[in-house]
Amino acid sequence: MAAELLNLKHFVFRSKTLLARRGSQFNPPWKLNGANPPRGKYQSCSSLGQISDVSNQAAVFDVEGALLKSSAIFPYFMLVAFEAGGLLRALILFLLYPFVCLVSEEFGMKLMVFVCFFAMKRKNFRVGRAVLPKFLLEDVGNEGFDMVMKFRRKIGVTNLPSVMVEDFLVEYLGVDAVLGRELKVVFGYFVGLMEEKKSGEIVLNKIFGEEKLDSSVIGITSLKKPIDQQLLSHCKVVYLISETEKRSWNVLPRKKYLKPLIFHDGRLAFKPTFIATLEMFTWLPFGIFLFIIRLSVALFLPNNLQVPILSFTGMTGTTHSTPIENSNLTSKTNTRKKLKGTLYVCNHRTLLDPIYVSMAIRKPVIAVTYSLSRITELLAPIKTVRLTRNREKDSEMMEKLLSQSDLVVCPEGTTCREPYLLRFSPLFAELTDEIVPVALDYQVSMFYGTTAGGYKFLDPVFLLLNPTTSCIVKAQKKLPKECSCGVGGKTKFEVANYVQSKIAEALGFECTNLTRKDKYIILAGNEGKV
């Protein structure tokens, strides 16, 4: 018995020794006793700031461990499951996640990949381009970003499938190459399985060609979960980042984005962590009931009753309006037809924009739109008219409507979620000089009520499912007569640009020359024709 105990103690001692040796290169002693890092291959992240010039060197960095503030990957898989697979697939992933936490990291990764990607068409997968970049950018640490951007060439290493992060890293961070997990595709469909990892030496040789690797590559990885050792073995120096350091990082400010985030798609307006996803699934039954109430109020009650009831249900609004003066244009100076109505020109945030304009000015209006689903058109509490995108026909139609009532138009032609304004179509400027710019901003708490690549008929459903929404309407002064086409003699483009700039100024937004076509090509791969 004593001999057996002696052998057992010897086995435990040997095991501890082997584990200590195996992990010693990633747990250097200065991390334990607070001493200064040695000038060896593995150094602390803080010593990277002491290097003045690395612009001629290349960096192999860990995306989750050295760039993102959070190392949790569940939210990104939930985005894939919900946005590309639907509510049922998202629910399955949510229910399986506690089991994923109990198994090994590799097996848990494979399980989430299978749930999210199985039987999904490769050609139609646009979440990595249209949805994930927004959430990944919001998780980038400012300190990690500055560290990576010092290098001339950047190779991002990730444990996630490449299709999830490649567009984000290449387009928004200028990364030269992405080393991630490849997914198996059969007959154009993902089968939910990952390919085997490639050898680090083969990958680096393919990237750098004939360059001498050990003299040109610097590694940046996590102290807790370092990247592939084969890759690190070809690095001249490896800098290690601890979780404590990452917790002190700041979020990357928008002004430092290498490429402005103007367009993004998807329904979820929040980062779906496990707790946040639990809140969403708990809310949905109540949200459906609230959707029915809100819709009934908007359809069957008069305007003076809609506002207080909708505000009570969480749909709040703030109005900042300027008294609209009566036109003093005489028949001598106004060469256009005398039109009965006023043209309200607003930016486009959601499909409720014309309704909020109507509530703000406290009178009914007619809304003209470029694309609207039939269901949304039937449910709209105000009159809506669909434009044909034929300039002559649309001009005649809008002029006819203006002779009957006030009109609301959104010249951007499509919605934009971020603080930017798309280029205004100048068609409205040719119709009348009675133009009132209206600035709108709309914030949601859980779901976006617009989509570029999804089903348009679900837009009002998701919008009214939100626990709370907030809208700000700023009706401005009527367009000065010297700035109009008729009396002022301005071109339609000058008038459109002027109105766009006034709305942007009121909201603190930035004007762009991007159009509806640009948005749909980027997000949906088409020109947005409905």
pTM, 2 dp: 0.86
Q: Which domains does the chain have, with CATH numbers?
A: 31-255 (3.40.50), 274-324+338-524 (3.40.1130)
Residue 383 · residue 342 · CB < 8 Å:
no
Give the model's pLDDT for residue 1: 45
Residue 214 · residue 187 · CB < 8 Å:
no
Give the model's pLDDT for residue 393: 86
Give the model's pLDDT for residue 2: 46
Give the model's pLDDT for residue 204: 64
Residue 433 · residue 481 · CB < 8 Å:
yes
Give the model's pLDDT for residue 195: 86
Residue with tokens 């592939």: 228
The alpha carbon dihedral of 515, 521, 522, 528 has a sign of positive
Sequence length of the chain is 530
Give the model's pLDDT for residue 211: 53
Full DSSP string of 283-335: HHHHHHHHHHHHHHHHHHS-HHHHHHHHHHTTEEEEEEE-PPPPP---TTT--
pLDDT tens across the length of the chain (530 residues): 445 444 544 444 444 444 344 333 444 433 433 444 444 567 766 655 555 566 678 888 999 999 999 989 999 999 999 999 999 999 999 999 999 999 999 999 999 999 999 999 999 999 999 999 999 999 999 999 998 998 888 899 999 999 999 999 999 999 988 888 999 999 999 999 998 766 555 666 666 655 555 457 888 888 888 877 777 777 888 888 888 888 899 999 999 999 999 999 999 999 999 999 999 999 999 999 999 999 998 888 887 788 889 899 999 888 876 655 554 444 334 445 556 688 999 999 998 898 889 888 888 888 888 766 677 777 777 888 887 777 888 888 888 888 888 899 999 989 999 999 999 999 999 888 889 999 999 999 999 999 998 888 899 899 999 999 999 999 889 999 888 888 888 999 999 999 999 999 999 999 999 999 999 999 988 776 65
Q: What's the token pair of residue 134?
A: 């927004």
